Structure 1
Amino acid sequence: MTRVVLVHGIAQEMKGPETLLADWYPALSDGLALAAGPRVARDDVSMAFYGDLFRPAGHRGLGTPELDASDVQEGIERDLLLQWWQSASDLEPRVAGPAAPARLRTPLLVQRALNALSHSSFFAGLSERMMISSARQVRRYFTEPDVRMDIQDRIARSVTPETKVMVAHSLGTVAAYEALHALPDCPGLTLVTLGSPLAVRNLVFERLLPRPSDGHADWPTPVERWTNIADVGDVVALAKELAPLFGDRVRDLRVHNGARAHDVRPYLTARETGRAIAEALRGDAVGSG
């Protein structure tokens, strides 16, 4: 019986569903406890895992193939890295921004972005390869139909008649939103999105399926309640509020996650997240709490 479906984000290709649950489940339980919510047994929680779809194929060399600025593709990959750079510089004075006009070829401009991001608290400790790989997974989701379909299928197969709430993080919020549109007949549930890029214009929002119309996205039929939670310092969730684009039924909340603003664990331990999940598990009336 799966009452809670979890959907992870980018850069999880070397893990698996049980590995991720070992991180997510204690944080989920802590958030529920802080919100005075009901306890949920681990057997009632499942991870809609798709990270392996991004795992590189075997090769002759040792370790993971390196990526550098010259490997970044024009379009989504380049533009996403530049948006992260701009957002990080807006939030942290010590991060040099891209304000100075630069007529640079993509590799040089991207190298400036990677250098700047490496000095931000958000990306501290991440290698250039990991930053590029993260942007690449977003690009692949939107440009490779088979990958997109396989990810959404993994999510759809995790939903059961007993599912009360879906909790999605990062790129997983995009996949969850689209997957739920393909499940119009499933029982009503609550959607909780954490660190979501769904409202990022030009890079994400306009690429959603079904396509938004006149600047507004369709509401997923199975969703009875939707709570979106973002940290002000989360540079992946560049647009912190979803209600302006997805409808005023979305409840947008802010939390403070400390230095690792996009990390799913502080999102899950936040009382606001625990309360949103608790409302779904208790079956509180829509609009209460």
Structure 2
Amino acid sequence: MTRVVLVHGIGKQYLGAETLLADWRPALSDGIARAGGLQIPGEEVSMAFYGDLFRPAGHRGLGIPELDASDVHDDLERELLIEWWRAAAEIEARVPGPDAPARLRTPHLVQRALDALSHSTFFAGLSERLLIWSARQVRLYFTEPDVRALVRERVERGITPQTEVIVAHSLGTVAAYEALCAHPEWQDLTFVSLGSPLGVRNLVFDRLVPAPAGGRGRWPASVKRWVNVADKGDVVPLVKELGSRFGDRVKDVRIHNGAKAHDVRPYLTARETGRAIAQGLGSL
């Protein structure tokens, strides 16, 4: 019996459902405990895993393909990298933004973005190819209908008649939102979005299915309560509050995750997240 369905974000192509659950379940339990809620048995929590759909195949070598700035041809990938760069520069004074004078040796805008991001605290430790591959996964979701359908199918497959709460992170919030909108027959679900890019105009929001109308995204008919949790220092949710995009029924909550602002674990261990989950389960 699955009462809580978890949906992960990008960069999990070499992991699996059980591998992720080993991290997510304890963090989720800690958040619920901090909120004073009753614990949920581990077997009632499942992971809607889709990372393998982005696992590279057919190239020489192991792991992620060797990518550099010259491989960024798609407008969505380029704009996403630039927006991450702009957001990182706003948070960190030492990161020069897109409007800063370019050094002659790096005139290419994408290369400048990659250089700046690789030196930011938020993206510390990520190579250029990992940054590009992260942006590419977002692009593949929105531009490859087969990929999008398969990701959403994985989410839909995880929902059972006993499901009460959907907890999604990063790109997973997009897949979860679209699945929830597609199934109005699901009833009384609580949607908890963590570090969500759903509100980012042009790159994400305006590409959603169903399409927004009049600048407003559709409220999923299957959802009775939506809590959106974001860290001020999280670069991925460029728009931290979703109420302006999806209506004032969204409860926007701001938290502080420390140095790893986009990491799902501090999101899950936060009292605010635990409270939202516990309330959705009726255990608080």
Which TM-score applies when normalising by structure 1?
A: 0.95
Q: Superposition pairs for residues 1-289 of structure 1, below 5 Å?
A: 1-100=1-100, 108-282=108-282
The alignment-based identity, stated in percent, is 68
User: Matched residues in 1 for 2:2 and 2:226: separation?
Assistant: 19
User: Matched residues in 1 for 2:198 and 2:234: separation?
Assistant: 13
Question: Is residue 38–residue 281 contact of structure 1 (8 Å, CA) maintained in 2?
Answer: no
Distance 1:63 1:176, change over 3 A: closer
Give 5+ residue unaligned stretches, structure 2: none
Number of corresponding residues: 282
> Structure 2 counterpart of 1:134, which letter?
S
SS at match of 1:78: helix
User: Matched residues in 2 for 1:24 and 1:128: separation?
Assistant: 27
Question: Is residue 37–residue 283 contact of structure 2 (8 Å, CA) maintained in 1?
Answer: no
Give 5+ residue unaligned stretches, structure 1: 285-289
Which TM-score applies when normalising by structure 2?
A: 0.96
> Structure 2 counterpart of 1:226, which letter?
W
SS at match of 2:47: strand
User: Matched residues in 2 for 1:206 and 1:168: separation?
Assistant: 20
Question: Is residue 218–residue 246 contact of structure 2 (8 Å, CA) maintained in 1?
Answer: yes
User: Matched residues in 2 for 1:101 and 1:75: separation?
Assistant: 23
Note the C-alpha offset of 1:183: 1.2
Note the C-alpha offset of 1:101: 6.8
Q: Please give the per-residue CA displacement for 1:217-239, whole angstroms capped at 9, x wherever unaligned.
A: 11101100000000000010000
> Structure 2 counterpart of 1:234, which letter?
D
User: Matched residues in 2 for 1:258 and 1:91: separation?
Assistant: 13
Note the C-alpha offset of 1:12: 0.4
Q: Please give the per-residue CA displacement for 1:75-129, whole angstroms capped at 9, x wherever unaligned.
A: 1100000000000001000101111477x9x992111101001111100011111
SS at match of 1:25: helix
Equivalence for 1:287? none
Note the C-alpha offset of 1:73: 2.1
SS at match of 1:192: strand
Q: Please give the per-residue CA displacement for 1:245-280, whole angstroms capped at 9, x wherever unaligned.
A: 101000000000001100000000000000000001
Distance 1:212 1:281, change over 3 A: same
Note the C-alpha offset of 1:37: 0.7
Question: Is residue 226–residue 249 contact of structure 2 (8 Å, CA) maintained in 1?
Answer: yes
> Structure 2 counterpart of 1:188, which letter?
D
> Structure 2 counterpart of 1:212, which letter?
P
Note the C-alpha offset of 1:58: 4.0
User: Matched residues in 2 for 1:128 and 1:115: separation?
Assistant: 8
User: Matched residues in 2 for 1:210 and 1:29: separation?
Assistant: 33
User: Matched residues in 2 for 1:63 and 1:32: separation?
Assistant: 36
User: Matched residues in 2 for 1:14 and 1:87: separation?
Assistant: 28
Note the C-alpha offset of 1:131: 0.5
User: Matched residues in 2 for 1:223 and 1:189: separation?
Assistant: 5
- RMSD of aligned alpha carbons: 1.5
> Structure 2 counterpart of 1:176, which letter?
A
